[in-house]
Chains A and B, each alone.
Chain A
Amino acid sequence: MVETSTPHVAKPGAEDEARINIVGLTKRYLTPKGEVFTAIRDVTLTVEPGQFCAIVGPTGCGKSTTLAQVSGLEQPSSGSVSVGNQIVDGITRGVSYMFQADALFPWKSVLGNVMIGPLLLGTPKAEATGLAKDWLRRVGLAGFEDRFPHQLSGGMRKRVAMAAALINNPRILLMDEPFGALDVQTKAIMQTELLQLWEELRPSVLFITHDLDEAVALSDRVVIMTSSPGSVKDIFDIDLPRPRGDVQHIRHEQRFLELQGQIWESLKDEVTRAYERSAAVAA
């Protein structure tokens, strides 16, 4: 019973390093027609070090935009993102990204895909190979080193992506609907495995999903975003005990169902609104 529900503390001394602080974040894009499109407006959000935070919201509410600002791939129009105590103004170091589409290199072997992270950090090749082999073993893919991604199943590709994302021991893990394209069974298995690996490394996680069950089962905190332009509507703390073990079992617990019900009440309006808007456009 070492683990308690709140608050989660990562490696000692690294606490502040892994805190994500989003203050008044607004991102506008210029559409090709020259109009201004506001993707997110005034998002304020803190992810504590080692915390697993899920963002849920209707389609097109700027969830992915939020992640892009945290990673430093894009720059905010106003407001700020800081990781540790540093304002993000370029690629943030120590961040890994996992996408819905598996961002694996189709021309690299499984081993090559996993070891790209350490190689880009300047790790010698022999060392990177050893590290990658170790990680492939941890995600249950020992013996698949020489395969190419197209030879693997969807679940196996996700495992490779997970190993590739975690091999650099990131302080922050950004996940953009990573399991969205998987079938229900594979999804549950991957969620359980993700939780296990996360318990070992304890990076701060920003996890985007459409799936409310997934959000509640995995996270310490669930953030509901409004439909476009996205902003934070509600924040729920999930006090289910850790370690959570098998995700399949959590879904039947009384507390899970209560929390899920509360959060759905908040999310429902936004989803309905987003749906009505898209229906109006279609009509």
Chain B
Amino acid sequence: MTATAVRRAVAQAPATDLQLAAHRARIRRMVWIRLGQFFVALFVIGGWQWFTAAGWVDKFFFGQPTGIWNSLVHLFTVGTAFGSIWENLWVTVQEALLGFLLGTSAGVVVGILLGSNRYLASVFGPYIKIVNSVPRIVLGSIFIVAFGLGVFPKVLLAAVLVFFVVFFNAFQGVREVDQNLVANVRVLGASPLQVARHVTIPSAMTWIIASLHTAFGFAIIGALVAEVLGATHGIGLIISQAQGSFDPDTVFACMVITSVFTLLAEYLITLLERSILRWRPPNRSESQAI
């Protein structure tokens, strides 16, 4: 009995050693990655600060990290000429979110419709290509003129930008549906609506969700550009005012604020992706981890 216990202990010892070593290696790897990331930031921001402080690059045009920081502090403590920064951020966020929702739902519906109906796809296909080739950002000017300086034209521009991204993905997703699966449920007696519910939509979901990451970026761009073109509130307005008064630091500060918000939204979309696509083998979503 003691003999077996000893043998077992001997057999286990290298295993725990190996585990420990693996654990240590993993921590070491993590530390190196964080260190590398820190030095990249230090290199870029520190270099920027140094170059502008030394006068090799003119901070009047290109701003300066400390200036951006001061400007951020100013925005959050003193506010802007158009109310507090929170008020303006909320207007932009609202526009982006509404545009995102509108564009996404329209894109999904139209994408699935055209994806599953060859006739409609052939009829509308060329027109969609034409509209897609138009620089849609210019539509912002028309929307501002037509609908005024309120929230609606911004929502519309964001939605137009989002629509095409989501539409093309939903369309492709429907086209890539495994025909075996469709045949299978049809033989089991599924109606066209049931085929859509059980096969087409869940299958296209992978593509649609993947497009949401890009689409949200476009929603923010749409809202900001429309605000720059003309608004009474919003981050875009602050940016265009700062541009008018030669204040690059505030422009950069606004960029930082919107980036933080976009990262937050991105995180929420990733959570959504994980919960909807939890049936997928894990390695596929890991490749998108970056």
Contact = CB atoms under 8 A, between A and B. Distances in A.
B280 A106 contact: yes
Contacts of B77: none
Interface string A18-32: 000000000000000
B183 A73 contact: yes
A275 interface: no
Given A97-B183, A99-B180, A150-B281, A105 B188 contact: no
Majority DSSP secondary structure for residues of A touching B:
loop
A91 B187 contact: yes
B188 to A, nearest CB: 5
Given A106-B279, A120-B194, A73 B187 contact: yes
Contact of A101 (B180, B189, B279): B180
Nearest to B194: A120
B25 interface: no
Contacts of B203: 107
A105 B279 CA distance: 10
A62 to B, nearest CB: 17
A112 to B, nearest CB: 10
Interface residues of B, number: 21
Contacts of B242: none
Interface in A124-152: 148, 150
A120 B189 contact: yes
Contacts of B187: 71-73, 91-92, 95-97, 174
Contacts of B198: 105, 116, 120
Interface in A50-96: 71-73, 91-93, 95-96
Contact of A103 (B180, B190, B194, B281): B180
Interface of A: 71-73, 91-93, 95-97, 99, 101, 103, 105-109, 116-117, 120-121, 148, 150, 168, 174
Interface of B: 178, 180-181, 183-190, 194, 198-199, 202-203, 205, 277, 279-281
